[in-house]
Amino acid sequence: MAERVFDRETLLDTTVNVVPLGIMAFFFVLFLTFAPWGGSSLVGLISLGLVIVPFIGLALLTYLTARAI
């Protein structure tokens, strides 16, 4: 039988990244919902980019770390 990629120990090791991913997802939804800096689209795009890019990076890094473990 093939060994599972995400066994119990791997999931326990990578769950430490779930909290920051949840926080970033919360701020992403918050920025989309309330638009904290008014109608300026450049500032809005920068604020969303500062949340989306690290979220994608951390999610990718978490996946690659789980594969390596």
Whether 5 is covered by a domain: the verdict is: no
Band (1; pLDDT cuts 50, 70, 90): very low
More confident residue, 14 or 3: 14
Number of domains present in the structure of the chain? 1
What's 4-48 look like in SS3?
CCCCHHHHHHHHHHHHHHHHHHHHHHHHHHHCCCCCCHHHHHHHH
8-47, pLDDT tens digit by residue? 877 777 888 888 999 989 988 887 887 666 666 787 788 7
Is 57 among the domain residues? yes
Structural domain containing residue 37: 28-69
